[in-house]
Amino acid sequence: MFGLSYVWHGLVLSDLSELGIPLALYFVLAALVYLVLGLGITIGAHKAVQYEFISLKRAFPVMVTLFSAAIGFFVYLVIFVLGMSFTKHAMMHVVVDVLWQMLEQGLGGLVVSLGMIYDMHQRFLEQERAS
């Protein structure tokens, strides 16, 4: 997600050139935010499976991706309300930015779901070897 954020804001939109804080500080703070977001998505996905909000049997990666996209929407709302957005607050910029945030977090959720599937597969193989 951090890499996608850099590609979007740094390369596609050139927003990082307009920062009011040093670039190194921005990268450190953004890395911390994305670590917390990734941890939140991972814990949220595990809890959703635990409480059976998301089923492992039907479209698990899709459901975790949608769950993460919803988290991305709410994260953007918080950022927008606090005035920390890169957008110029024109409606088109806001819509594109919120869609990008949802896509970015959704892809992060997809990676989390694939990691969970890989972990479950490894545990299954270990149990088979032990039997």
Q: Is the dihedral of CA 3, 86, 31, 107 positive or negative?
A: negative
What pLDDT score was predicted for residue 23? 86
What pLDDT score was predicted for residue 1? 82
What pLDDT score was predicted for residue 86? 66
What pLDDT score was predicted for residue 5? 82
What pLDDT score was predicted for residue 41? 95
Domain that holds residue 41: 2-130
Count of domains for the chain: 1
Contacts of 68 (CB under 8 A, 6+ apart): 41, 45, 105, 106, 107, 108, 109, 110, 112
Written as six digits, the tokens of 27 are 């990268």
What does pTM read for this prediction? 0.84
What pLDDT score was predicted for residue 91? 82
Low-confidence ranges of the chain (pLDDT < 70): 14, 85-89
Helix-, strand-, coil-residue percentages of the chain, each rounded to 5? 80, 0, 20
